[in-house]
Structure 1
Amino acid sequence: MKLTVFGATGGIGGHIVRQALDAGHQVTAVVRRSASFEPRHPALEVATVTGLSDPDALLPAVTGSDAVLSGVGPRGRKAGTIASDATRGILAAMAASGTRRFVAVSAAPVGPPAEGDDLFNRRILLPIISAVLAEVYRDLTVMEGLIRDSRAEWTVFRPPKLVNKPLTGHYRTVLGGNVPRGHTISRADVAHAMLAALGDPATIGRAVGIAY
């Protein structure tokens, strides 16, 4: 497949690029002009843009792609509206190019409480995290709304706390909900699940909870 990856210099996006190349895909990695990007591969093309909110600037990167994957997300509490702004531009470029399949990453607190979750998670941990990172989750909620309202064949993954651990390929997922007692997931395994979703029509039009 020919894939376009946004957020290619980030934790999840970098894993998507490497895993996709290892799987034999052709990859266009979209990076900002100020970013450095080290991977080199015969099947890798690097598209450099000034920003992610201008659909016209993104159009060449998504034209002809079979799917677009986005690892774009906030890197701190004061990241503003980076996720929604970038996703708005990406979706507009996809619509203009006719590219339909879109897989993006959000966060577990944006989704509903997990069925069968423990009391600590529901009554203590989740409310504290949601309060501390309220601006981040507000932006991701807007982002998810943009995705749902688009004409894309979309899938959104909602991980809990992201950790830097090796790829395992073993994790739990829940269509339309969050994973009960799911506290962490590695960025490498989120990338793995996002790529796997490209071959799973059951994930189209669904949010997917993921955790160990």
Structure 2
Amino acid sequence: MRLTVFGATGGIGREVVRQALDAGHQVTAVVRDPARLPVTGEGLEVFRADLSDPAAVRPTVAGRDAVLSGLGARSRKDAGIATRLTRTVLGAVEAEGVRRLLVVSAAPVGPQPEGAGLLERGVLGAVSLALRDVYADLREMEAEVAGSATDWTVVRPPRLQDKPVTGRYRTVVGGFPGKGRLIGRADVAHAMLALVADPAALKQGVGVAY
């Protein structure tokens, strides 16, 4: 497949690029600073852009089979960035007629986990309160993606870890795995690539966790 990855220097985006190249895909990585992308390989094209103008990034998505985005805030002070940058991506994707789009959100933005008890709901509530600005941004981003003309999928992980890919995790379309508190960034990337061709994930939020 021909894939474009936004947020390619972030923890999840970098893993999407790496694993996609390992699988033999052609990858365009869209970054602000190419020096921050340590991934190399045959089939990789690096495109420098600041995502301020949809027209400027249209060439990065033209003719692609899917676009995957790891864009998002790294702290509360970055709240608003996910919606703003994703809006640029949507403008470019829709202008070029690309159908498949996958973006990363977060578990607290979606439904309660399957069979969540009082303690689990309380923990999620505390996390949501502490990061309310970030999650408000992600909710707005999700709404814009859901209102787009794309065949979208929103991937919602819980707390992220830096660990090697395992390929062993749970996914729930339209929900979230019970007691799913952690997942590695590499496995979120693995799930995103697996979901590209999954028709059950079209226009759905997908919870992913160990």
- The bucket for the TM-score relative to the shorter chain is over 0.9
Partner in structure 2 of residue 87 of structure 1: 86
Q: Which residue of 2 aligns with 1:198?
A: 196
1:178 aligned counterpart, secondary structure: coil
- Check conservation: 1:55, 1:89, Cα contact below 8 A: yes
Query: Partner of 1:115: helix, strand, or coil?
Result: coil
1:35, distance to aligned residue in structure 2 (A): 5.5
Match of 2:144 among 143, 146, 170: 146
Opposite residue 188 of structure 1, the aligned amino acid is A
Total equivalences in the alignment: 210
Q: Tell me the secondary structure at the aligned position of residue 77 of structure 2.
A: coil
CA contact (8 A) 2:21 2:42 kept: no
Of stretches 135-144 and 176-185 in structure 1, the one that deviates more from structure 2 is 176-185
| 1:10 alignment counterpart | 10
* Structure 2 counterpart SS, 1:117: coil
**Cross-structure match for 2:179:** 181
Deviation at 1:34, TM superposition (A): 7.4
Per-residue Cα deviation, 1:117-144 (whole angstroms, up to 9, x for no partner): 132111x211110110000000000000
Pairwise mapping of residues 62-81 of structure 1 onto structure 2 (< 5 A)?
A: 62-81=61-80
- 2:60 maps to what in 1? 61
Per-residue CA deviation, residues 25-78 of structure 1 (Å, 9 max, x unaligned), is 0000000147622222120000001x2231011111111111000011110011
Change (3 A) 1:35 1:76: farther
How far apart, CA to CA, are the structure 2 residues paired with 1:200 and 1:36?
31
**Percent of aligned positions that are identical:** 56
Does the CA contact (< 8 Å) of 1:53 and 1:88 recur in 2? Answer: no
Unaligned runs of 5+ in 1: none
Inter-partner Cα distance in structure 2 for 1:34 and 1:77: 25
Q: Does 1:115 align with 2:110?
A: no
Residue segments in structure 2 that go unaligned for 5+ positions in a row: none
Aligned-partner residue type, residue 6 of structure 2 = F
Question: Does structure 2 conserve the Cα–Cα contact (< 8 Å) formed by 1:9 and 1:35?
Answer: no
Cα distance in 2 for partners of 1:53, 1:147 equals 18
Whole-Å separation in 1 of the counterparts to 2:75 and 2:15: 20
Q: Output the aligned Cα RMSD.
A: 1.1
- Tell me which stretches of 4 or more aligned residues in structure 1 moved more than 6 Å: none
Does the aligned pair in 1 maintain the 2:14–2:37 contact within 8 Å? no
- 2:14·2:39 contact (CA, 8 Å) conserved in 1? no
